[in-house]
Amino acid sequence: MGQTAFVLIVEDERDHGEAIAEALQRSDCACAVVESGAEAQASIEQSPPDVVVTDYRLGGKITGLDVLRMAKQKCPDTEVILITAYGSEELARDALSSDGAFHAYDYLIKPIDIEVLREKVDRAARKAIQARNSRLLRAQIDETLDFEGIVGSAESMRKAIKRLRKIAISKMTVLITGETGTGKELFALALHRNSPRAGKPFKVLNCAAVSETLLESELFGHVKGAFTGAIVNRKGLIEAADGGTVFLDEIGDMPLAMQAKLLRTLDGGEIIKVGSNDVQYFDVRFVAATNRDLSELVTEGGFRQDLFHRLHANGAIRLPPLRDRREDIPALAQRFVEHFNRASGTHIKGIAPDAARKLVNHAWPGNVRELKNVVELMCIMTEGDTLTVEDLPESLQASTDIVPTGPPNLAGMPLKDLEKLHIMNTLRMCGGNRERTAKALGIGARTLYRKLSEYGLR
């Protein structure tokens, strides 16, 4: 099964209940035995089980059908198997076909065939655990902040988004730093869309992708005859973005001569087109980005110190690498699935929990961009409506868990939220196995079940 199932056995004859428990424990199930409907209700309230095996007649006011309703009300993912006496099959079949949420998974007729019991409980447990894991994954996704297409629940991302919101309404120049693939251009566009310049142009220049001889022309424009091939006057990006925003990506790769000219534009808004002596003025906001350490470049003589201070005057927005915000990976992956569905007309529902765990545990040297490419490839390769481990690239299928190199900053987080986060992370680390999770946390299995129920993680 892969994960230990918690099975509640409700049988008013204790010996029969213990015999069922012993048979199921040999199949690696964790079992609890109670002898009445009232005891079953108390047990379900404390620790909702994955599977309930209950006698239809319990010798009291509460019947097996009542236990079924109680279990489903507490945890809709719980599956219930009824045990009936010979001749009462009709009652059990009615329970299987009941409308609404209160229907049984299956039934058994006394005397019980142990092998049939194990098979039915195993199938029911697999279904319950898969539903629970999907619910846990959905809870993570629902709690994730989504701002202008920027997905993030990690504290580092929340801080970056909060800072972006505040800076957006100003005219200040902004520097965004982060590794390749962390979403710097997406942040720059979000900043533009949330600024008073939102209705004006947003222009992008990758300083590393344009040769030094053409960079000045691309940014400032040129006049006819300025150089060979300049047969007409041409607007630069600054003029084309007048009133709006210019995003200078990979500014750390800008040549020193261009840095001096850019500094003049940042300070006064003036430009001089290539081949002209006339000064022109435009109202443009600049957002720059880099994956390099600009302070180190200044020390090495590859970046102007005055431009460095100009860009850093208001502090930089730093985007964390994906490996430092693993809790965002399931929501990001789901977003990419939805994007692929819209672009391709497919109807992929999402990602199976075991495949999501593989994604969460990968190192992602290419960050969000790499994740996007992997998910889109999975969408192309899958033959079903849910992405599974088999759809992952071979390198990820064989990958092992990777532990983050440093702890997140949890200062100021309420203790209840901290405990929930710690349980979620440990559960993920243990592959969803609750016995291993309880041991890792240093608590009993029933305590873990209670906390999972309390925090809505079942």
Supply the DSSP string of 294-308, one letter for each residue. HHHHHHHTSS-HHHH
Looking at every residue in the chain, the average pLDDT score rounds to 84
Q: Are 52 and 73 in contact (CB under 8 A)?
A: no
Confidence of residue 456 (pLDDT cuts 50, 70, 90): low
pLDDT for 429: 65
Q: 246 or 415: which carries more pLDDT confidence? A: 246
Report the run of H or E that residue 418 belongs to, with start and end. Answer: helix 415-429
The predicted structure's pLDDT at residue 406: 38
Q: In angstroms, rounded to a whole number, what is the distance separating the alpha carbons of residues 317 and 168?
A: 12
State the burial class of residue 411 (Cβ atoms within 10 Å of its Cβ: 0-12, 13-18, 19+): exposed
**Above 60 in pLDDT, residue 73?**
yes
Q: Which domains does the chain have, with CATH numbers?
A: 6-140 (3.40.50.2300), 155-318 (3.40.50.300), 325-397 (1.10.8.60), 415-454 (1.10.10)
**Residue 215 in this model has a pLDDT that exceeds 60:** yes
pLDDT, tens digit, 9 for 90 and up, residues 400-434 = 544 333 344 454 556 766 777 778 777 766 656 67
287 SS3 class? strand
pTM beyond 0.75, yes or no: no
Across 117-131, 137-151, 168-182, which has the greatest mean pLDDT? 168-182
Is the pLDDT score of 290 beyond 80?
yes
DSSP structure string for 41-56: HHHHHHS--SEEEEES
Question: Regarding predicted confidence, which is higher, 428 or 161?
Answer: 161
Q: How far apart are CA 449 and CA 44, in angstroms?
A: 10
Query: Tell me, what's the pLDDT at 356?
Result: 87
Residues 60-87, mean pLDDT to the nearest whole number: 84
Kindly tell me if the per-residue pLDDT of 152 is higher than 90: no
Supply the pLDDT for residue 413.
Answer: 53
User: Average of pLDDT values for 276-290?
Assistant: 92
The confidence score (pLDDT) of residue 402 equals 43
Q: What is the pLDDT of residue 302?
A: 93
Kindly state the percentage of the chain with pLDDT values over 90: 34
Q: How much is the pLDDT for 153?
A: 76
Least confident of 64-73, 251-260, 297-306, 402-411: 402-411
